[in-house]
Amino acid sequence: MTTLKKILCAVDFSGGSPLVAEYAAILAAATKAEVLCVYVAPSLAEYVGFNVPQAALDTFVGDVVASAGTTMDEFVAANFPGVSVKGIVLAGYPAEEILAAATEHNVDMIVMGTHGRTGIDRIIFGSVAENVVKSALCPVLTVKPREAG
């Protein structure tokens, strides 16, 4: 029988993130699993060729990661009551970092949101959730954000 011991909950701190966390917390409480809550700060490596000094990009990403660490602490405290949870902030390309964290931490399931991009946005930006679902070595639960109102 399959057991859930560790769940990776990928969030982006958008309005849909609490719903994603709720699903991860429900699963964790039901199975007594621990949660690894992950936020990935975007990589700015693609801007190096635009005469932006690498040092400036590194400083900016470092500031974003530091700020996201505080946000992660607050998010975890507010959204995972009574659940064993650890929050981490990574930097890079979200799908790659989520998949790497899932492997590194030997998770049994990934819970993440979808933004429902369509049309040109999807062609240009792709879908982080789609890339994770296609490449993950464990099951992935995707949570579509609820419509406002």
Q: Which residue has the higher pLDDT, 55 or 31?
A: 31
Q: Encoding tokens for residue 10? A: 């990928």
Q: Encoding tokens for residue 70? A: 């505080």
Residue 103: the pLDDT is 98
Q: In angstroms, what CA-CA distances link 28 with 87, 116, 121? A: 15, 25, 33
pTM of the model: 0.86
Q: Per mean pLDDT, which range of 33-37, 48-52, 91-95 is the poorest?
A: 48-52
- The four Cα atoms 117, 97, 40, 79 give a dihedral, to 10 degrees, of 90
**Residue 45: how many CA atoms within 13 Å on its side-chain side?**
5
- Dist. CA 12–CA 68, nearest whole Å: 10
Residue 146: the pLDDT is 77
Residue 119: the pLDDT is 62
Q: Encoding tokens for residue 28? A: 């964790």
Average pLDDT over the chain, rounded to an integer = 86
Query: Per residue in 91-113, pLDDT tens?
Result: 889 999 999 999 999 999 999 99
Contact 139, 109 (CB under 8 A): yes
Whether residue 77 is predicted with pLDDT greater than 80 in this model: the reply is yes
